[in-house]
Chains A and B, each alone.
Chain A
Amino acid sequence: MPASEPGKHVPHPHRTAHTDGALSPGGAPRPYTRFAELCVTSNATFLTGASHPEEFIREAASLGYEALAVADLHTLGGIVRAHVAAKELPEHARTRFVPAARVRPTDMDGLAVCLYPTDMAAYRRLCRMLTIGKRRAAKGQCTLTSDDLRDFSAGLLAIAMPDDSLSMEPLRAHLRALASIYDDDRLSLGARMSFRHDDVDRLELLQLTSQACGVPLVATNDPHANRADRRMLQDVLTCIRLRCSLAEAGRRLHPNSERHLKHPDEMARLFSGDPDAVARSVAIAERARGFSLDELRYQYPDEVVPAGCTPMGHLRDLTEQGTRERYPGGVPAKVRAQIEHEMELIEDLDYARYFLTVYDLVRFARSGAENPGADPPQGWQGEILCQGRGAAANSAVCYCLGVTAVDPARIDVLFERFISKERNEPPDIDIDFEHERREEVIQYIYRKYGRDRAALTAEVITYRPRSAVRDVGKALGLSLDLVDRLAKDIEWWDEGGVNGAKLKALGLNPDDPALQWLARLTKEILGFPRHRSQHVGGFVITRTPLCELVPIENAAMPDRTVVEWDKDDIDAMGMLKVDVLGLGMLTCIRKALALVNNKRARESPAQPALTLATIPPEDPATYAMIQKADTLGVFQIESRAQMSMLPRLKPREFYDLVIEVAIVRPGPIQGDMVHPYLRRRNGEEPVEYAHPAIEQVLKKTLGVPLFQEQCMALAVKAAGFTPGQADELRRSMAAWKRKGHLIHRFGMQLIDGMMSNGIPREFAERCFEQIKGFSEYGFPESHAASFALLVYASCWLKKHHPAEFAAALLNSQPMGFYAPAQIVRDVKAHGVRVLPIDVNRSAWDCTIERGAMRLGMRLVNGLGKPDADLIRGAVVQRGAMKDLTTLWRISGVSAKALRRLASADAFESMGLKRREAIWQARLLRDDPMPLFAGLSEPPPSDAERASIPEITARGAVVQDYQTIGLSLKGHPMQSRCDEVRAAGAVPCGWLSDATKTPDGLAVRVAGIVLMRQRPGTAGGVTFMTLEDETGIANLIIWQRVYQRYRKQARTGTVLAIGRVQRQGEVVHVIVTKLRSLDALTGSTSVVSARRPLVRSRDFH
């Protein structure tokens, strides 16, 4: 082959024959032979098939097949994708898609049976049979016998596919058995010619067998790939499956690449000895014509509609009821009109049941899970806070139904943007529930609809660059160490292939053939499914048994069942899916509201309880707090990136929060939209619109596209997309890693379209970059609006009820960005008194004690809730305890728990200092001591006291950190103040003062490391946050510096030497040197070497 210079196009030898599935307008010339391939193994048979189902369909169409059946082993996981691809084929393509499955009966060794439903009933039987086989076996397995085949055989056609190694005698026996199951000429015997040594002999033997058993032969190529050039990938997949390298795989690989889709005429030539076998394939496909996936009409469940009502009537009733609650002063005309408009659409598209199903879940949560009746059972926690998200959720109807609290008057999201009439797909509503109580909702769904009608959606885990490099690298036989290095620093690789310079930087030879193969195969394997997992909370609910629509299998989690189809498949089939998600902040808000309502009830019992919906809107004090970036602990806008954006963006109203939530995301950042927006908002740049159409779309965001919806609207209004195309664009956004070529095609169309409308290329390209960025973390306006509401609610609570908010935050841990120490420190800075943990005062949760916050026992390391509850119960019942032994005896708490509490210094009210308490608690034993049980121990003697050293101030703080993760006695850096100042470090608090630390000043700061973060987008920069007793310091460490000081950077306490960088309100220290201050914690220090002082939160 001639050397290929860059840029010079050399036609690929194998590609010229058939183009990549894209049909030329007239289609390929019709083959002379009619042929249907019925035994395709696609990549839905994980790590076995080497092509996507779509690729098979497109290839078959371009080759002029009559039909193509995807028959994956024990799964129908690929049929929806193939079906969708078949529907998208151009008119003239006549290839039909036949859904099928392949089964390996356990009692028929060496034989697989491919099954083809001929009608709806047969398809249902096939699904049910696979479900039975899967539920019997462990996750990912399937156990079926010929008895099962017999039970579910009606209406199914079958092809028996013997393995190469199966000898004739057992084959005959199996065939006779199968022929009795699939009578009436429904059984065929598959034969293939794939250039093995005994093809001719084998075909002859199969012909003889076929005659002897009366089972006709059918020709197939048993393809594993759509094209021959997938051979390398095929081999690699085999190796990944077998967990070995290519060199070790040996004869377990295919000897050649003949098992791909071949031209029908070529099939006829190969089977020239038996032309009937080729014809038989078409005949079988004809008989399977009786069923198409289009017939699979999804039906909504009935339960949600009470008897005697129509769904629409019921929905109208409920909405009407809701309007009265939402708008006690009368419904505004605008809202009324919108409700009417939405109702029409819902009626048109028959989505009433969908809305009712969502409403039912919300109602269940609102009513406090199960209605407790007059006497709430123990542990009943009342209402589960929840909120809907998504475009359909932010509708007037949903607002009235209580699904969302976002007032449609406050935000205008076009309802029909996501319920389009063209696409007959249900709307998209995600519901967030309190993360601690999501399971209750899930169990409610299972109870209400039953396990055969409700199941979780699958999440098919596909190869992403990192996992791809890892698995392919192992298959190529690279050393584990090298594979790790390559996978960790993925920068050397991208869609185009190897980046030689980056590879060299890793110390590798970019010309190494293995690395070239690695780059090439990594690219090929991207988007290939690896295994099936469960979706976080997507539920499918049906009226008829679900297992007759799609096979259901066991999930890794006990008591969970998962359907075989993923989100896209479910969408494509138009099935109802509700996302039941967990959100920590909802837990926190509910707990905070409960504490606030307690307080209000005490102050003035007449006040109505505060709820998420009745939090006063647009409170200026709250916005003032947000503008100062005083947002530690609140929802979403608490991260460092968000906090540094707040003073620049200065949110003044609700919509600003919506923007704030959406702007600090990979999409806008990658599309370089953040700075233009800020400049325009601050009046530093005129607000211009390149085109009037753009003004219409982007007016809200000052001409800068920030939301996913805006990009789609731009595509329609400025680039001339049809709404359907725009929707496809949205879908390909989510899956562009999988179908990369698709988004590039759209990209061309988008940029060309926009340019033809007079929009500058530079703007168009940025839009496209942003769309690609959205794929990483798509953030639509409708979601941002729902989130912004929680942002506002949490900020309002923090502003007006700081103690309650902090307590709720601590009681909802782990969640959010900050550790308890920072939350406590922050609440103290807001003037709230914080009281230490004490056995006689604390409960499990943090509580409010006369305006102050009392820390709860939940902070104590290693202490369980049952023990804390025992203590609290005893104290509430019997009053404060005077000594440890009494507490132990009365409460029945374990001695181990008391030891933990003693270490946490929680016996102050008994007059016991920490070490004394530990010394006493150590004496108690959980195993009964027969003789002395119950006797109180003598108080410690003076000799004992003398032998225990006094604790130092620093020791006490350190031990606090080790036992409860924070200290009210001081900061760990406080006791080292002198040492640190002697080293030249200024207090971290000085950094916030521009007069003390002007821009460019050389400084030293010291503190404990709270956080290290190296975002993938930041080009190797490490962000680090230090804390001392005066405040925090944000460090920026360039990669070069980090490499030199990586050892120091990983220690718990550091001294950073660098230069101040001020950008507005944002202050960083650009680090040039790092020094570790971890005291030489030898084994004789009081600081435990095994437990770090503060476990920094590291993100990589």
Chain B
Amino acid sequence: MTAATAPVADVWTMSRRQLRRIRRYPSLTVMLVGLPVVFLLLFVFVLGGTLSGGLGGSSYVDYVVPGVLAMTVASVVQGPIISVAQDMSEGIIARFRTMAIFRPSVLAGHVLGGLLQVVLGVVVVLGVSVAIGFRPDAGPADWAGVLGLVIVFGAALTWLAVAMGLAADSVETASNVGLPLTLLPFLGSGFVPTDSMPGSLRVFAEYQPFTPVTETLRGLLLAAPVPTSTWLLALGWCVVIGVGGYLWARRGYERR
């Protein structure tokens, strides 16, 4: 093992650890992925009939799926918040700190594990969407774009989630600190167009992270053009959230 490959080996070891922990606690993953599926069904079948009236005839399921996908990311990263807080409450993290291992590897393991749950969640939600009548027009390049954006956005939010998990004093508070993150998608263009919102809320809704991400996903899935400013804003938010989350997480880890 050379000095150069040790960090990679440590990140790999910690990622396998996290994957095994996720497998050992499957009910959490089921809950995390199940919630956005419930929201998808709720919006399409319960609220969709009325909401689609304001869309000028286009199918509501086509409109709402990209929004639910963005929401899925926010909802699934509640998992890392809880699992990081839980991990920190156990003695094994203290042990890791006394070992000569690549420091960020513990957190990187949580991020990779969380990211895998995000991808799983998105795949499940997409599957259910198609089953209930979602018909994407995306070509191979569009699908690659969807996957890429899900991964980049997922990684950014997962780093933020890891930082939030580190900031929580206990597992109990950890399950609450993520709440703003689950509510944010509703204040955007995911479920209804922002045009219908009152002034200042509308400005907020148009520029907050979930809206450009949703709009980019919507464009890619429906093979419609995505304005450069929209996908740039989406990627910009990913960089800001990801880097900010990473720095906050590292600080939180060093502090504890």
Answer whether A and B are interacting partners: no
